[in-house]
Amino acid sequence: MSNVVLNRVSDALVIVDVQNDFCPGGTLPVDEGEVIIPVINDLCARFSHILLTQDWHPRDHRSFASQHPGAAPFDTTQMPYGQQTLWPDHCVQGTRGAEFHDRLDVSRAELVIRKGFRSDIDSYSAFFENDRKTPTGLTGYLKERGFTRLFFTGIATDVCVAYSALDSQAQGFDTVVVEDGCAAIDANGCLTQVRTQMETQGIALLPSAAIR
Ligand code: VGL
Ligand code: ZN
C-alpha cells in the first residue's frame, strides 16, 4: 500500500464524536472506543489542522428510545424525514457523557462542530442533518479555509463517520477514512455494507501507518 504524504495547507483531520457516551462505560459504547484514542492522538501529531465533531442532543431528543413509549433502543421508527434508529439516551448537552474522552488530546483542535441539537431531527453527518437537507455549515467553513482533503477518524465507523465521509466526498473533498482510528457499533452487521458503499463512492480506506 502506498503512503499518503500530508499537505500542511490543504489537509485536515476530522475526529468524529470521541465522547464518553460512545466509549466503554458510556450509554452507547463501542467495543474499541478506547483503543482508537492513542491511534488518533498519534495521528494528530502529523496534521497541521484538526477539527472535532460533538454529538450534542437536548434531553428530549426524538432519536432517544425513551421518548417513544413502548420502544426499545435499536428499534426503528418513522420520522417525517424517513426511518430513524432509536438509541439509548446519549450525549445530552452539558453532561459528562457528552464530553470528549479525557485521553483524547483536543488541545490543537481548531473547530468543534456540534450536531444533533434540534430535538426533532437527528444528525449523523457532520455536514447535513438526517433530513439530508439541513446543513451544519461545515462545508462553507472548510471551503473558506481552503481544505481540499479530509481524513476521518472516530465513532462510529458505520454511523457518524460513514455519513460524514460520504457527504464529504459528495461535497467535493478528497476523502480518506483512517480505519484503525475508527470504532464501529455494527448493530446489524452493517459495517461491511457501509465499507463497500464508501469504497464505491471513491473514498479511500487506509491504515494510520500509511499516512505520513
Ligand atoms: C452516533 C448514533 C447516534 C455516532 C451518534 O456518533 O455514530 N451514533 N448518535
Ligand atoms: Zn446521537
Ligand 1 atom having least distance to the Cα of 160: 7
Could you tell me which of 145, 169, 115 has the C-alpha nearest to residue 8? 145
The pLDDT tens digits for 30-83 are 999 999 999 999 999 999 999 999 999 999 999 999 999 999 999 999 999 999
The one-character DSSP state at 152 is E
From 17, 55, 89, 122, the catalytic residue = 17
93 Cα: distance to centroid of ligand 2 (angstroms): 11
Q: Is residue 27 within 8 Å of residue 55, measured between CB atoms?
A: no
Q: Which of 55, 91, 115, 167 is catalytic?
A: 115
pTM for the whole structure: 0.97
Tens of pLDDT along 119-162? Answer: 999 999 999 999 999 999 999 999 999 999 999 999 999 999 99
| Residue 18 CB less than 6 A away from ligand 1 | no
Displacement of CA 68 from its chain's centroid (Å): 25
Strands (DSSP E) found in the chain: 11-16, 50-55, 76-79, 82-85, 109-115, 149-155, 174-183, 204-206
Q: What is the pLDDT of residue 56?
A: 98
Q: Is 55 in the pocket of ligand 1 (CB under 6 A)?
A: yes
Going by C-alpha positions, the residue among 105, 94, 15 that lies closest to residue 56 is 94
| Residue corresponding to grid cell 462545508 | 139
Distances (CA, A) of 163 to 7, 47, 174, 210, 212: 24, 22, 15, 23, 25
Closest ligand 1 atom to residue 116 Cα is 9
For residue 201, give every residue at least 6 positions away whose Cβ sits within 8 Å of its Cβ, in sequence order, or none: 166, 169, 170
Ligand 1 close to Cβ of residue 155 (< 6 A): yes
